[in-house]
Structure 1
Amino acid sequence: MIVDVATYADGRRAEVEDPAEALKSCLGQAEGFLWLELADPDEGELGRVASALDLNPLAVEDAVEGYQRPKVERYGETLFVVLKTLAYFDDRSAVETGELMLFVGERFVVGVRRGQVGAPDAVRRQLQEDPDRMRRGPHAVLRLVLEHVVDRYVEIDAELERDVEEMEEQVFSPERSSDAERIYNLKREVLEVRRAAAPLVAPLRQLVDSGDAGDAGDAGDAGDAGDAGDTGDTGVDSRGAQAQQVLFELRDVLDDLVRTVEHVEGYDRLLTDILNAHLAQVSVRQNDDMRKISAWAAMFAVPTLIAGVYGMNFQHMPELGWRLGYPMCLLLMVAACTALYRSFRRSGWL
């Protein structure tokens, strides 16, 4: 279904009464652009949008199916961007994933979101409060969406860092606790963030590089045009240069993304080491428990042996007729158990 649709001219929002008509007319506009957002659209609904905007069928198919790997693809003048949006819930230390797909052209932005975790609402409010940025067109929307998504990665990175540090302290604390399940769950959350962030590095770097190349190319074209005296495509060149400049500004976003991916990969390795250390501690504690059990079993075995010997039904045993035989047996049991206890204490078994 349509979540929001509006046109933006000179950085100002204008409501759309007929989305179908707005879709048909947006490509021919001299200025401004259309911003349309869809939530979990079916094939027919997205197909009508694709037909009006001449979107690539392969990209539309990916948007309909969902569950795509984060990527940035260019189809002619249209960029198709797939992002994984993340949300962190501190009360249960859980990371939930959503999906956001963007079709970005010269005169339109079409967002397709899946799941409850999304970014466009906050981005739209922020851009509407800053008309100067909104005037920069659809690529400004793309830049701010990418920045918002990556900023959420950075925030979750900080939350995961705290969780990993707490887990490390707990595992190496003297208190006994069952941490294997918590470590495994935390590794799953780290893996969720890694799956969202890591695949985005390469396509975002290509996007930034295209901005660098675009700046150089625009400068060269401007020089050639000046020599030839050709100024007929000034408006188109200006829009292209502005879009390339916006892409060029994504370098800071790329740096944050790369740093976050490096951190998350480090958390994954550290959690593996913590899990191995925890399992080693469990094994050592089990060995300690077995030694203690064995030591106490040995101490109980001596009185049992003595009582068993003197409990046999023989008539001709030397101590049976002795008046002090019973106290002697008790004293022997106590002395043997005391000697064993001291021996086990010196050896560290108790």
Structure 2
Amino acid sequence: MGQFKGWRMPLTGSPADVVETPPQQPERHHDAVVDCALYIAGVRQPEQRTFAEMYEQAGETPDAFVWIGLHEPDEADFAAVASTFGLHPLAVEDALSPEQRPKIERYEDITFLAIRAASYVEHAELTETSEVIDTGSVRIFVAEKFVITVRHGAIGELRSVRADLEAHRKLLAQGPWAVVHAVYDRVVDVYLTIVAAIQRDLDHVEAKVFQRTAGIDIGHVYQLKRELVEFRSAVVPLQQPLAAILEGHLVQLPKEIRRYFRDVADHHNRVVDRVNAYDDLINSVLQARLTQVTVDQNNDMRKIAAWAAIAALQTAIAGIYGMNFKYMPELNWRYGYPIVLTIMLISSIILYRYLRRSGWL
């Protein structure tokens, strides 16, 4: 994999042949370029030159194209790329924006695509602050002789995608859209692993919610709901770009590549169906937990009311004797005091057993 310095790759040969980096281009620019290569008939060429020179050769060579991979470039990093490949300013602006909805747009002979990558964050247990889904994004410029991938965030690395493609030269020989397919295929395959992991989380939450004594707080359910919403916002909007690619309104793909994209679309539809089902399920679980909370509160209020009724009975009896009327037949009874206490105790027991039998206690 070539090492870059100021967008300039070292030439093979003697030190005198090495072209020095122009002083006006800061050394930091090489950090944005992950890899750059010229492919002819699916074979990576060993020559190490500037991407402008590679692009020029690709234009003169049949079945050749250039693939540049960048990671979080800034405007200065991307200026030379945009100028060399004639990228539209609006597409460049979208490529540099950290937040972008999945889409596909056509700028004359160049197609711009945006896709959101995602990954599942392993966690010991679900909490109110657990991060379940982490997302990133990939922007792609594709034309007849080049493909440019721009990645934002730590999610969605493409080194392994490039390595897999270089190992399948027949597929890579299909051209730049084979790269686009490989990126889409990798992202959607990760979606499938995520929905399987979310299924385990949902099963755990559902089991906890419907236990006799719920062992999960409503905040945990709501946090999983928020993470699922984030994942859904990455997955569902991809349907429109995939449909546009398959319908052929914006781009005309080789038959073989179209067949591969159809397989990606099938996998993506499976993901969308499961995400929608999970959303309905977690809404039901959340509603069930809210209902449980309401029932628990009602039970608590009934218990409080029951004990208040028992206390009110004793208060009523004691209140009568606290009136201090002169003529009360019980006042001069020798056993009046213990008899009244006995009546209070018996009435409390009778009322307690009645309320217990009625389910209030």
Q: TM-score, normalised by structure 2?
A: 0.82
Per-residue CA distance 1:185-219 (angstroms, 9 max, x = gap): 112122112211111112212212229x95xxxxx
Does the CA contact (< 8 Å) of 2:55 and 2:65 recur in 1?
no
Q: How does 1:54-203 map to 2 (within 5 A)?
A: 54-91=86-123, 92=130, 94-177=132-215, 179-203=217-241
- Partner SS state of residue 136, structure 2: strand
Does the CA contact (< 8 Å) of 1:29 and 1:107 recur in 2?
no
Cα distance in 2, alignment partners of residues 103 and 9 from structure 1: 19
Matched with 2:5 is: none
Q: How does 1:1-350 map to 2 (within 5 A)?
A: 1-13=32-44, 14=46, 16-91=48-123, 92=130, 94-177=132-215, 179-210=217-248, 243-314=254-325, 316-350=327-361
Cα distance in 1, alignment partners of residues 86 and 131 from structure 2: 43
Cα distance in 2, alignment partners of residues 87 and 349 from structure 1: 49
Per-residue CA distance 1:153-204 (angstroms, 9 max, x = gap): 1111112222222222222221134532222211212211221111111221
Does the CA contact (< 8 Å) of 1:119 and 1:145 recur in 2?
no
Cα distance in 1, alignment partners of residues 150 and 190 from structure 2: 19
Please report how far the alpha carbon of residue 130 of structure 1 lies from its aligned counterpart in structure 2 after TM superposition. 2.5
- Partner SS state of residue 169, structure 1: helix
- Partner SS state of residue 280, structure 1: helix
Per-residue CA distance 1:124-152 (angstroms, 9 max, x = gap): 12122323322222221111111101111
Cα distance in 1, alignment partners of residues 41 and 242 from structure 2: 28
Does the CA contact (< 8 Å) of 2:208 and 2:216 recur in 1?
no
Cα distance in 2, alignment partners of residues 20 and 94 from structure 1: 42
Point out the structure with the larger helix share. Answer: 1
Matched with 2:19 is: none
Does the CA contact (< 8 Å) of 1:8 and 1:34 recur in 2?
yes
Letter in 2 for 1:74: R
Unaligned 5+ runs, structure 2:
1-31, 124-129
Cα distance in 2, alignment partners of residues 65 and 309 from structure 1: 79
Does the CA contact (< 8 Å) of 2:55 and 2:145 recur in 1?
no
Letter in 1 for 2:187: V
Letter in 1 for 2:202: V
Aligned Cα root-mean-square deviation (Å): 2.2
Q: What's the % identity of the aligned pairs?
A: 42
- Partner SS state of residue 60, structure 2: coil
Cα distance in 1, alignment partners of residues 295 and 242 from structure 2: 47
Does the CA contact (< 8 Å) of 1:84 and 1:100 recur in 2?
yes
- Partner SS state of residue 91, structure 2: helix
Cα distance in 2, alignment partners of residues 246 and 182 from structure 1: 43
- For residues 306 and 292 of structure 1, do their structure 2 counterparts lie closer, same or farther at Cα, with a shift above 3 Å needed? same
Letter in 2 for 1:294: A
Alignment: residue pair count: 322
Q: TM-score, normalised by structure 1?
A: 0.84
